[in-house]
Structures are given as structure tokens and as C-alpha cells.
Amino acid sequence: MCGIVGFTGAAPAAPILLEGLRRLEYRGYDSAGVAVQHEGAIEMVKASGTVEHLAEMTSNGAALEGGCGIAHTRWATHGAPTDTNAHPHLSEDGRFAVVHNGIIENYAALRRELEGEGYSFASETDTEVVAHLLERYYDGDLRRAVMRTASRLEGSYVLGVLCACEPGRLFCVKEAGPLILGLGVDENYFASDVTALVGYTRNVIYLEDGEMAELTPESVTVYDRTGREIPKSVSHVVWDIEAAEKGGYEHFMMKEIMEQPRAVKSTIEPRIRSGRVELEGLDLTAEDFARFRRIVITACGSAYHAGMVGKYVIESLCRVPVEVDLASELRYRDPIVGEDTLLIVVSQSGETADTIAALRECKARGAYVLAIVNVVGSTIARLADCALYTHAGPEIAVATTKGYTTQLSALYLFAVWAAEKLGRIDEMRYNELVAELSALPARIQRAIDLNLHVKYLAGRWHAQRAMFFIGRNIDYAAALEGSLKLKEISYIHSEAYAAGELKHGTIALIDEGRLVVALCCQTALFEKMVGNIQEVKARGAKVLGLAPEGDRRIFAEADDVLFAPGGEPLFAAAPEIVPLQLFAYYVARENGCDIDKPRNLAKSVTVE
Ligand code: AGP
């Protein structure tokens, strides 16, 4: 979703800002723009289309002189993705430029008020009111003008502000949505995401909601809502720039699929010491645990699918009821959550607006919050009572792969840890599960190695108009994710169903030649799946079976076959998703789709 970058220093700002925007492209956007201070005025270039287009328009930034500026990639919400609606937006007198992420909910009332005072608007955006408010409130004190402007806004907003008459000075404001300050030597930055900063500095400050920062080349000062200066600690980012580059792969998605064994190892290995699962920071005792009568898992998209798998695994091992709820639903349904609830929040980015809102809602009702999150220092990590980081490294492709498998790994670790704390598994089973956890990276690597023919199968099936994914139990949860992978990057309509549900309606959709992907990795349910496979075949479907390696029974049932290495069935979702990720990838590639940046999607959904 929208990306923001700001820079102030001695170097020309525009090339640095453009490079920052390139690093934010993965978040999803449809227009881009840049504004710099130059000789007491603001120079601005913006257009719909790509950052590369913007770079061409500005000779890679060389056409814009000046060492202080702001830039933006916009994902349209209010108004179409046109040149005019692209950010930055200027005040009527041209002295203020503003970039904005989020939604200003009271913009219509503000716009009416400003129009009544004679301000005229150039765009359809909610953002433009900010530029006009700055002009109205500026009396020579930019900090006060920014504060007064922010106090008029309702909704979620992260702002970057540039003023023609304040050389080298930038302001940024955070009210829901990520914003990070980067500290350099005689130069400073802000950005929505550390990936925009790591090429320049690893020293960062994470801002909280209600905070505002003032940047000059020599200083960074953070204020609260009342304008009081507040001390902030500096964090060191461990990701390096290579981690956010393609490393020879055609797409980030393929790179990230291949990184999964290493990523899952980073999630699991540090947490197993001398054969015991140790979850640092999660210092709940067995007595603390006993107060939780239920566990609620909340998340969006693939993270929600990981939560579905978590439900099966936690309930099976811990015998505690687990509910999984979409964050966008949980936040508005007056949930039955209290001090007896352990809320597990799952998020790769840690910045998903609905997930943050659900977390806040449940925390206010007394729930204890455990976050399973990838991005260190993200909003979700900071709001939770404790965080279990997945350590997947930066995930750039919009379609999550290693984000999902590392979330599964964290949920498996938690389930084994909690089952032991609650005394629900004996020592033998515990040791067995710990060994299975340690073996997971190798199992995922084997899943990659086993499926070299996925490309060929994608060539066979890529022209399907629609596909179905079916499975039972954990296979059903994995089917949801396999189906989402396919639809989001290949635009082929696809649905996932609990296999036993087919005959309650969905089977009416099965027609001659329709592909049904049947997940059969829960060996105890294999025969049940055979029944469902036969049902769809009898109605003309073709079946792509996914079974544990070496289970030759699948050959008698399916037209084509994929394998996932066998092992503990409770942990099957992590290896079995790999061939489905590869299948989605190659189908999308066959169909010429923009794999890393699918249409209409954003990596980090920071608005509701
Ligand atoms: C899946 O490929 C998507 N990128 C999406 O469903 C994603 O999982 C969802 O938006 C949640 O994001 P989060 O993990 O960053 O909270």
C-alpha cells in the first residue's frame, strides 16, 4: 500500500528519494511523485504509472535540484490513479507539499470548510485538505502548523510535510500506519518501511501513533501530540540490502519460495535448546496458562490460513478450544473475549490495519496478546504483550510464501511448547514432536526437490478458467492457502472446500475437464478423500492429487500427481504448501501475469 520517503542532507534528494520509492514498489501502487525544495520554492513531478516512469521524467532525479524532499507511491483510495491525484499535493500558494498514507475520514467536511473559505482543490483526494490546512495555519512556525493541522484530522494517516520557506527542514506525523526515521551522518530520512532505508542507514527510530518528528540534516527531534519533546531509542536493523534483492531469480516470489528451508530454520532452530522448545519472551507459567479458557487466533489473508492450521494443531496437542477469526470480522462483532482469552495475532508485516484494530479491541477487553510477526518493531509487535518473531527476512513478493510457512512454524512451536506446559503430552511424544520440528526445514527442502515437474503440470493446466482445491482437516486449511496463491497471482478463479462439503452444493460447479486439486496428506483420512475424488471424477473432473511421498495409492486415483515428503501429519501443511506455491507461480508465469505485483493488490494493507 502507499509508500512514503523523506530525505534531508547535502546530497541531491531526488535520486535518493527515487531509490527509496523503488524499494517500496513491492507494497503495491499505481502512481508516484516527488517534491524537493529549491531556491525557496517547491519543485514537483508526479504521474500515474511506475516509479521507472517517474525516474524517466526526471532524468533519474537529476532534473530536480535540492537536498531536501519527500516522495510517494500511491495506491488509490479516494479518486482514480491519475496524474492529478498522485501525491505530493500542494497548498494553493505552492509553499507546502504533502504526502500521505492512510485515509482521512473527515476529509469531506474539511474540504467543504476550506472551499467555503475560498480554497480551491485540484484533486479528488482526501489528502489535499492537509496541504490547504497547513497553508491556513502557518504563521512562521512550521511545527505549530503541522500540529494544528494534525489535530483537525480524523482517521488513519502518516504524513510527510515539506515547506518552501523552511530550508532543509522536514516534518512527518504518524497516526496509524508505519513510519520509521533513518539516522545518517549529516543526513536524515523517514520512510514507511525499513527496506527504503537499509541502503543508506541501519540506525532507525520507530515512531508510535500520535508522534511527530522534525528532521534537519543534523538533527532528529520527536514530539508527542502536545508538542512535548520525547526521547526515543535507536534500533539497529539487521536486514541488509541483498536480502531485499532478487539474487538472480526472475521473481521475488520464486526467490522467497526457495528461501523457505532457511527461513523456517531461522524460526525454529534458535528456539530449540538441548531438545526443549524455549520461547523467549513468552514467560507464561503453567498456572498463567490455566487461566486461559480459550484461544482466539486472528489475522487476514494467508496469515488467517496459517491460523486455521494452528487451530487444528493446537487443539489436537493442547486440548484447548481455539477459535480462528478474520480480523476484519472480529473487530466489529463485539467478541466474547476477556482475561480468560489468549489472543494470537498473526501477521507478516505487523502493519495490517484490520489485524491491528482486532488486537486493540481484544486487548481492551483484557485478552493477553501473543503476536506471531515477521517485521521487528512493527505496530503489532509493539502492541502485543509478547512477540514471537518469525525471522523470515524481508518478504517482497505480494503473494506470501516464506511468510506463511514461518508463521506455521511459529504456531507449531507454540503448540508443542503449550502442550508440554499444560501436561497434555508425554515425554515420548514431546521428544518426537521436537525432532519433527527440527526436521521441518529439510522436509520443506525435499518438497522443493520433489516437484521439479510442477512447471510441466502448469503448462498442462494453465488455461483452466477455474479450479477447485479440496482437502480434509489440515489439508483443508492448506487448500485455502493453495487456492489463494493461485487466484491472487494468476487471476484464475479458484475456491477451496472442505472435501466433505462438496456434495452440499459446490459439486454442482464441477463440469467436464474441470481441474480439482485434491490434498491427501492427512493419511488417516486418505480413504475419505478417495471417496471425494471419485465423486468429482464421476462428474467429469480431472484430478491433480497431492499425497505424501511414496504413497503410491494416489496414482490409481488422480490424473496427475504432486508429492510432499511424509513425516508428522500435524506439521504437513508446511511441506505440502510448497508444490502448490510452485504450481501457482508457474501457472501465473505461463499466463504472463505480473507475479510479484499482482493487479489491485498491495503487500501491506494498512487501510481498512
Ligand atoms: C497473501 O499472499 C497476501 N499477501 C495477504 O493475504 C496477506 O497474507 C494478508 O494481507 C495479511 O498480511 P500480514 O501477514 O502482513 O498481516
Is 596 within a domain? no
Catalytic residue among 46, 255, 402, 603: 603
Residues with Cβ within 8 Å of residue 585, at least 6 apart in sequence: 251, 253, 254, 257, 458, 485, 489, 595
For residues 170 and 262, state if they share a domain. Answer: no
Indicate which CATH number applies to the domain containing 438.
3.40.50.10490
CA 265 to chain centre: 20
Indicate whether 55 and 195 sit together in one domain.
yes
53 with 158, same domain: the answer is yes
The verdict on 518 and 479 lying in the same domain is: yes
Which pLDDT score is estimated for 24? Answer: 87
| Atom of ligand 1 lying closest to residue 603 CA | 4
Q: Which of 210, 244, 278 is the last residue before a domain boundary?
A: 244
**How many angstroms separate the alpha carbon of residue 303 from the centre of ligand 1?**
6
For ligand 1, is residue 307 a contact (CB within 6 Å)?
Answer: no
- Predicted pLDDT at 598: 87
Distance from the CA of 498 to the center of ligand 1, in angstroms?
22
Going by alpha carbons, the residue nearest to atom 9 of ligand 1 is 301
Q: Of 2, 68, 362, 521, which one is the catalytic site residue?
A: 2
With a 6 Å cutoff on the Cβ, whether 357 touches ligand 1 is: no
Is the shortest distance between the CB of 381 and ligand 1 below 6 Å? Answer: no
Residue 528 shares a structural domain with residue 546: yes
Q: Does 522 contact ligand 1 (Cβ within 6 A)?
A: no
Q: Is residue 150 situated within a structural domain?
A: yes
Q: For residues 356 and 472, state if they share a domain.
A: no
Q: Identify which of 111, 113, 101, 102 has the alpha carbon closest to the alpha carbon of residue 70.
A: 101
Give residue-wise pLDDT tens across range 437-496: 999 999 999 999 998 899 999 999 999 999 999 999 999 999 999 999 999 999 999 999
Confidence check: pLDDT of 603 > 80: no
Q: Which domain holds residue 470?
A: 454-590
> Residues 431, 503: one domain?
no
Same domain, 262 and 282: yes
Is residue 35 situated within a structural domain?
yes
Ligand 1 test: best mutation among 302, 359, 601, most atoms within 8 Å of CB? 302
261 DSSP 8-state letter: H
Any domain includes 606: no
Q: Closest by alpha carbon to 342, among 306, 305, 303, 386? A: 386
Dist. CA 568–CA 189, nearest whole Å: 48
pLDDT at 194: 87
The contacts of residue 7 (CB under 8 Å, 6+ apart) are 13, 16, 17, 20, 67, 68, 69, 170, 187, 188, 189
Looking from the CA of residue 399, the nearest atom of ligand 1 is 2
Task: Report the nearest-CA residue for atom 3 of ligand 1.
Answer: 399
Q: Whose CA is nearest to atom 2 of ligand 1?
A: 399
2 as an active site residue: the answer is yes
Q: What is the CATH number of the domain that holds 56?
A: 3.60.20.10
Query: Please, are residues 10 and 196 in contact by the beta-carbon 8 Å criterion?
Result: no
What are the pLDDT digits (tens) for 319-329?
A: 999 999 999 99
| Separation of alpha carbons 297 and 370, rounded Å | 9
Residue pair 170/161 in contact (Cβ under 8 Å)? The answer is: yes
Please give the average per-residue pLDDT across 345-360, as a whole number: 95
Asked if residue 97 and residue 183 are part of one domain, the reply reads yes
The predicted model gives 561-566 an average pLDDT of 95
- 1 pLDDT tier (thresholds 50, 70, 90): low
Ordered DSSP codes for 393-415: ----SSS-SHHHHHHHHHHHHHH
Q: How far is the CA of 79 from the centre of ligand 1 (A)?
A: 24
178 — pLDDT class (breaks 50, 70, 90): confident
H helix or E strand, kind and range, residue 7: strand 3-9
- The answer on pLDDT for 81 being more than 90 is no
Contact 305, 481 (CB under 8 A): yes
pLDDT value, residue 597: 87
Provide the β-strand partners of residue 336.
none
- 73 close to ligand 1 (CB < 6 Angstrom): no
Distance of CA 534 to the CA centre of its chain: 38
Q: Is 400 in the pocket of ligand 1 (CB under 6 A)?
A: yes
Neighbours of 493 (CB within 10 A): 13
Pairing relationship of beta strands 542-548 and 515-519 according to DSSP bridges: parallel
Judge if the beta carbon of residue 348 lies within 6 A of ligand 1: yes
pLDDT over 90 (residue 602)? no
pLDDT averaged over the chain? 93
109 and 156 fall within a common domain: yes
> Residue 344 Cα, ligand 1 centroid: separation in angstroms?
16
- Residue 239 pairs in a beta bridge with none
State phi, psi for 273 to the nearest 5 degrees: -125, 125
pLDDT at site 67: 94
Rounded distance from Cα 56 to ligand 1 centre (Å): 32
Among the ranges given (76-85, 221-230, 336-345, 515-524), the one the predictor scored with the smallest mean pLDDT: 76-85
**Distance of CA 573 from the midpoint of ligand 1 (Å):** 17
H-run or E-run covering 304? helix 301-318
Same domain, 266 and 134: no
Order of strands across the sheet that contains 96-104: 89-90, 96-104, 155-163, 170-175, 211-215, 220-223
What residues have CB less than 8 Å from 175, skipping those under 6 apart?
A: 102, 150, 153, 155, 156, 157, 158, 209, 210
Contact 469, 482 (CB under 8 A): yes
Do 157 and 10 sit in the same domain of this protein?
yes
Mean pLDDT of 77-104: 91
- On the question of a cis peptide bond just before residue 217, with omega within 30 degrees of 0, the verdict is no
Ligand 1 centroid distance, CA of 399 (Å)? 7
- 228-285 per-position pLDDT tens digit: 999 999 998 877 766 777 777 899 999 999 999 999 999 999 999 999 999 988 878 8
- The verdict on residue 216 lying in a domain is yes
Asked if residue 298 has pLDDT above 90, the reply is yes
Q: Amino acid identity, residue 451?
A: N
Which of the pair, 505 or 144, is modelled with greater confidence? 144
Q: What is the pLDDT of residue 6?
A: 98
Using most ligand atoms within 8 A of CB, pick from 326, 345, 400, 597 the residue to mutate for ligand 1: 400
Residues 277 and 271: beta-carbon distance below 8 Å: yes
Tell which of 217, 244, 271 closes a domain: 244
Answer yes or no: are the C-beta atoms of 397 and 253 closer than 8 Å. yes
Q: How many domains in the chain?
A: 3
Cβ–Cβ under 8 Å, residues 126 and 103: yes
Distance CA 287, CA 309 (A): 26
Kindly report the number of other CB atoms within 10 A of residue 557's CB atom: 19
d(CA 357, CA 156): 11
| Ligand 1 atom having least distance to the Cα of 305 | 8
* Residue 440: closest CA among 523, 564, 535, 357: 564
Domain termination site, one of 187, 210, 244: 244
- The amino acid occupying position 170 is L
Active site residue 593: no
